Amino acid sequence: MENGYMTLCGFGRAEIVEKRSRFIGSCAPAGSEAQALEFIARIKAEFRDASHNVHAFYLRQDGLSRCTDDGEPSGTAGRPVLETLTRAEVQNAAVVVTRYFGGTLLGTGGLVRAYSRAANEAIKAAGIAVYTSCARFRVCCAYPHYEQLLRALGAQGARVEGSDFAAQVTITCLARQQDLQGICGAVTELTGGRARLEVLWQGYHPF
């Protein structure tokens, strides 16, 4: 996804039943391998009595991914869970699908479908957030320019987060990185170059 990526909004959990086997999908955002492994360990501890705790994670940095079948037949569990993440284009996320065996064998195809479905339902429960390349910045201006600047910033796509009123007005905003040049131009033109724009932070943020 150009200039951004998709990840989970937060923790998600869903349960399905297939031929009396319970499949419990749990997922959460993970910005690093350490965070992914910590989440996986926590879910495995919660369901330590389960037949299987299959996990997968996918990290945006370097495209790092890992998965495990945790005792299920090779390729029937971990890989389908990981492919569910990649099909949804969800990055920086970890998924654990827990299985309590119900006494009936599902076969290769049945396992693939059950693990995929449990992972997908958990992702839907968590919700997907779009993270965009953004910049947080502040504009210091004289009071006469304040109302005009608010309108101009909004028209340029900036999201005003707050204003501080002192000797001058300081407006703090968040905007897409791609809009920053246009915002700088609008601020300069509106104030005759008297307002000062300072970038405070650049990175990925929901927008």
The pLDDT tens digits of the residues spanning 74-100 come to: 999 999 999 999 999 999 999 999 999
Question: Alpha carbon 51 to chain centroid distance?
Answer: 29
Select the CATH number that applies to the domain covering 132-206 from these four: 3.30.70.240, 3.90.420.10, 3.40.50.300, 3.60.15.10: 3.30.70.240
Mean of per-residue pLDDT scores for the chain: 95
Asked whether this chain's domains 4-126 and 132-206 adopt the same fold, the reply is: no
CATH, range 4-126: 3.30.230.30
Q: How do the domains of the chain map onto residue ranges?
A: 4-126, 132-206
Span between the terminal Cα atoms of the chain, in Å: 14
- Predicted confidence (pLDDT) at residue 207 exceeds the cutoff of 90: no
- Predicted confidence (pLDDT) at residue 2 exceeds the cutoff of 90: no
